[in-house]
Copies of this chain bind each other. A is one copy, B any other.
């Protein structure tokens, strides 16, 4: 697999159907459409001006909602992944 740098995370895209497994339905009309994904790799976090490194708030396995159109798509062994910055993640589905 691959290890993202800094505050980046790698996620598997989850198809956002009319009604997803976790029960989230995304409105068609949202200007900035959120999407769902599952975290598969997490970076070491960003470094503050104080020199401290802040761990990323999500962990491998978390289902997350992120802003559509954010991140970079990568294919690896036939599967599609997205590399996001932590700041593009809106929430963790519990």
Residues of A bordering B, CB below 8 Å: 1-6, 8, 10, 23-27, 30, 32, 34, 41, 44, 47-52, 54, 57-58, 65, 67, 72-78, 80, 83, 86-87, 89-94
Set of chain B residues within 8 Å of A4, measured between Cβ atoms: 90-91
**What would 22 A/B residue contacts be, using CB atoms closer than 8 Å?**
A2-B65, A2-B91, A2-B94, A3-B92, A5-B58, A5-B86, A10-B91, A23-B77, A25-B75, A25-B76, A25-B78, A27-B73, A32-B72, A34-B72, A34-B74, A34-B83, A48-B50, A48-B51, A49-B49, A50-B51, A51-B52, A67-B72
Given contacts A3-B92, A8-B90, A26-B75, 13 further A-B contacts (CB under 8 A): A4-B90, A4-B91, A5-B86, A6-B86, A25-B75, A34-B72, A44-B57, A49-B50, A50-B50, A65-B74, A72-B90, A74-B90, A83-B90
